[in-house]
Amino acid sequence: MKQKRNILMITPYIPRLSQSGGQNSSFYSIKYLSQNNNITLICLTPDEEGLEDIKQYCSKVITVIRGKTWDPKKVLLTGFSPYPFLVMKHINKKFRETIQHELDTNSFDLIHCDCFYPMPNIPKTKIPIVLVDLTVEYEVYKHYVGTVSGWKKLIKPFLWIDVLKLKYWETYYWKNTHTVVAFAEEDQKLISKITKRKDIKLFQNGVDNKFFESKAKTKKSSFPSILFGVSNMKWMQNRESVEMIIKDSWNKIKKAIPNCKFYIIGRHAPDYYGHYRSEDVIVEEADFDDQPHDPMYYYQHCWVLVAPMGSGGGTRNKFLEAMACRLPIVTTPEGMGGIKIENFKQSIICDYNKIAANTIDLLKNNKKRTDMGNEANKLIGNKYSYQNSVNGLNQIYQEITNKK
């Protein structure tokens, strides 16, 4: 029997099923990596939600509780620190000491770190570090700062300084880490261009086979319905997308199809968008997996997923999951990073000003929706399963450990 590698994995959260995005990707990566690796997981987290779920796939899980995100002390310290706020809020003495203790007392073949911002907590070591960058953070924040309005314009110069610090440190760790893994080809090319490294790896994000193998448990709504989600609304890209829909697309769609309903679903959705609730706008959290209204419920219930994105970076888990559930997607070019589709066959990529028209066309054409959903399901099943994704990551691990 082949001996398993010993991996120390560092994450700025508890990988969990109840979240979308990076936390969900990390959960499934660990699930399938555990078949060939012994994983010691250290998480910096505000709570212990989801801890029992991830424990079953790890040799050991250690949590370090961090304080509130908007800690006034850390906000103030950021102004006098070389680090940006995103990094400052993840610098934690106990976190660093916990990582050091594991390195001192156990033998590891490599260290895997999800996201660059926990990196300052990893002590200097000869053990190869694999930095898996889920998205290019400074690009996301640069776009956000470029679009701020109202009173936030007053602090715009300070926000730009933070973006510059973010770019500096993100680039620093790209250049000085043994192996860097990007989540989308666009990110891989950007990182290679900035660092002059030709060895930037690519992780093909995916979905668990339950999404494309299971039969639908939920009937499609009897009325036309569009979905934004299932997403974490604390992530600024998701909030921007919802506002784009409400500002420019929803009224056009509603005028063309009066009985249409709009579902805004995701983590913290009621906190940000509860004031939009009406007979036609449904705003809800998604339940945990296997609960009455888990993410798959909404993917199967709605007719079309609409998600114009103002900036790119990484791969949208919600797109992969929705496509696996035969839900057609309408998005902008910035949205479909990391997923190679044949446009208007598996989904629709269009200019922002055509989002409403293409959504209306899909809602009115049942055959087109069905065919597109079936083609999307085939694509995800053939190319975007987590089993295939993790096989690629295991190959990267193998290359590194064989070179040692």
Q: Please give the Cα distance from 395 to 152 (Å, whole number).
A: 46
The CATH number that applies at residue 231 is: 3.40.50.2000
Nearest C-alpha neighbor of 296 from the set 214, 233, 362, 190: 214
pLDDT confidence of residue 18? 62
How far, CA to CA in Å, does 73 sit from each of 77, 88, 89?
6, 10, 10
Query: Do 220 and 129 fall within a single domain?
Result: no
pLDDT at 166: 95
Beta bridge partners of 62: 42
The side-by-side arrangement of strands in the sheet containing 348-349 is 281-284, 261-267, 225-232, 304-307, 329-331, 348-349
| Residue 125 backbone dihedrals phi, psi, to 5 degrees | -155, 155
- Same-domain pairing of 98 and 214: no
Residue 317 has a pLDDT of: 79
Name the one residue in this structure whose structure tokens are 């499609």: 220
Domains held by the chain: number: 2
What single DSSP character describes residue 183? S
Rounded distance, CA 13 to CA 46, Å? 8
Helix, strand or coil, per DSSP, at residue 35: coil
Task: Please give the residue range of the domain that contains residue 72.
Answer: 5-206+386-403
pLDDT value of position 385: 83
DSSP for residue 332: -
- Beta pairing partners, 331: 307, 349
CB contact set of 310 (below 8 Å; sequence gap of 6+): 143, 147, 237, 240, 241, 244, 332, 334
CA–CA distance, 332 with 249 (Å, rounded to integer): 13
Decide if 305 contacts 323 (C-beta within 8 A). no
Is residue 147 within 8 A of residue 93, CB to CB? The reply is no
User: Among candidates 171, 41, 150, which has minimal Cα distance to 95?
Assistant: 41
d(CA 202, CA 185): 7
* Residue among 62, 53, 46, 49 at smallest CA distance from 9: 62
Are 271 and 397 in a shared domain? no
So what's the pLDDT on residue 60? 97
Rounded CA-CA distance 347/229 in Å is: 16
**Digits of tens for pLDDT over the chain (404 positions)?**
568 999 999 999 999 876 666 788 899 899 999 999 999 999 999 889 889 999 999 999 999 999 777 777 777 778 888 999 999 999 999 999 999 999 999 999 999 999 999 999 999 999 999 999 888 888 888 988 888 888 888 888 999 999 999 999 999 999 999 999 998 888 999 999 999 999 999 988 888 877 766 677 889 999 999 999 888 888 888 889 999 999 999 999 999 999 999 999 988 899 999 999 999 999 998 876 667 778 888 999 999 999 998 776 555 778 888 999 999 999 998 888 778 899 999 999 999 999 999 999 999 999 999 999 999 999 988 888 888 888 889 999 999 998 65
Cα distance between residue 266 and residue 288, in whole Å: 11
Q: Taking the C-alpha atoms of 215, 218, 220 and 222 in order, what is their torsion angle to the nearest 10 degrees?
A: 150
Strand pairing report for 5-11 and 110-114: parallel
| Per-residue DSSP letter, 333 | T
Q: Tell me, yes or no, whether 374 and 396 share the same domain.
A: no
Residue 222 sits in the same domain as residue 361: yes
Are 226 and 360 in the same domain? yes
C-alpha to C-alpha distance for 304 and 226, rounded to whole angstroms: 5
Please tell me whether the peptide bond between 390 and the residue prior to it is cis, using omega within 30 degrees of 0: no
39 strand-pairing partners? 7
In terms of domains, do 180 and 259 share one?
A: no
Do 149 and 227 lie in one domain? The reply is no
Do 189 and 322 belong to one domain? no
Regarding whether 199 and 248 lie in a shared domain, the answer is no
What one-letter code names the amino acid at 400?
Answer: I
Q: In terms of domains, do 127 and 148 share one? A: yes
Q: Are residues 398 and 358 in the same domain?
A: no
CA distance between the termini of the chain: 21
